[in-house]
Amino acid sequence: MSRFLVITADVEFEKRVRHAASGLHGDVQSIIADYLPQGPDDVLRVLSGQLLEVLVLGPGLQADDAIRLASLFDLQYPEISVVLASTDAAEIALPAMRAGIRDLLEPSADAVAIRALLERASLAAAGRRRGLGAQVDAGPQGGRIIAVMSPKGGVGKTTISTNLAIGLGRTAPMKVVIADLDLQFGDVASGLLIDPERTIADAVTGAAVQDSMVLKSYLSAHPAGIYALCAPRNPSQIEQISAEQVGHLLEQLAKEFDYVIVDTAPGLGEHVLATLERASDVVWVCGMDIPSIRGLRNGLEILDEIGLVPEQRHVVLNFADKRSGLTLVDVEATIGCPVDVTLPRSRSLPYSTNRGIPVLQDGAKDVTLRGLRQLVERFKPGWEERPHKQLHRRAVVK
């Protein structure tokens, strides 16, 4: 049975949470107060031994005290999801993430939004509890590592990576991170309008290598509820970052996040190969031009020979245009596999990248929206089990 506990000074908020949880398994208990107990054990005594899955810290509490208590829960009772209601989401997002807070909630949210959040938090708690109960050594456990790559540059990898991260961020708020592994010329920071204090160069050395809490502090928070680990400011720093360090970094991130989106460098360098060794999925991107298509075919052949093609593949044809002189059949025949998603040639898509506001964040109408949403859908829970879909749908070029 799911159990929910609300601590808040706002009686109306408590009523909305109680109404939102009606119909869910378990009951709701509440503490109406403008202060917090000293530690988790003081909170759990209120429940008289009942199972707690979700703790909601509501309006009227000091943010610093809420974050301190959440960090103690994260250390002592990681199977319990902590949710914080705050009007200062942008300012508090990074410290909340460091403290292990599962989700942020607007204090004015209606019952529908609160119910959806409680369901997500409850599922996360159940997943953590199963993970803690099954101590197996069957290899790295954690989130999906999605490598977005192409042997050729200039095909829109960064645009697709940032939109994919934004789209998945709506499904799993605060549980998505995008890592820019185009270590020399990465554009994720500009593509998301981020000015990072720390970069990958910092994350692969020092305390961050051993301590995930330190690593989390190096991430840049984005208003859309995702996080980014950006490429080094100085391209020469690539010489100081080894493939082994990249692999360890991705394993760390996968333990902390549901989705790790990796925007890779063009080609098949050592950092790309290290990413593919750990990736659960790969998004292959090619443009509708002969050099890009042939490059993808050659890259697939090489990786197949060395056994580095992840089982889950998703082929995206960017800049699709029937006036290019090529057809979809030509593309699929050349690369030797079906195209799953097409993104029509768009004037506004490059503009959105230059502005630093992905189209899935902006919400403006664009011919690529349908394709981008289809790509995001492929990574949502249960997609593989959907009876109405085909593993690789035939795309349409307009």
DSSP state of 39: S
CATH 3.40.50.300 assigned to domain 144-385? The reply is yes
Q: What is the CA radius of gyration of the chain?
A: 22
CATH topology of domain 4-133: Rossmann fold (3.40.50)
Q: Which residues contact 261 (CB under 8 A, 6 or more apart)?
A: 146, 148, 161, 164, 165, 168, 176, 177, 178, 179
Distance CA 133, CA 194 (A): 39
Distance CA 20, CA 200 (A): 41
Digit-coded pLDDT (tens) for 301-342: 999 888 888 878 999 999 998 888 888 999 999 999 999 999
> Residue 135: pLDDT band by 50, 70, 90 thresholds?
very low
pTM: 0.67
Distance CA 129, CA 327 (A): 50
Three-state SS for 238? helix
Reply yes or no on whether the pLDDT at 138 is more than 70.
no
> Residue 286: pLDDT band by 50, 70, 90 thresholds?
very high
Structure-token pair, residue 7 = 């601590």
In this prediction, what percent of the chain has a pLDDT beyond 90?
Answer: 52
Domain ranges of the chain: 4-133, 144-385
Three-state SS for 180? strand
In this prediction, what percent of the chain has a pLDDT beyond 70?
Answer: 91
Digit-coded pLDDT (tens) for 175-202: 999 999 999 989 999 999 999 989 999 9
DSSP state of 335: H
Domains 4-133 and 144-385 share a fold: yes
For residue 342, what pLDDT is reported?
94
For residue 176, what pLDDT is reported?
95
Structure-token pair, residue 61 = 């509490």
Tell me the average pLDDT across 18-47. 85
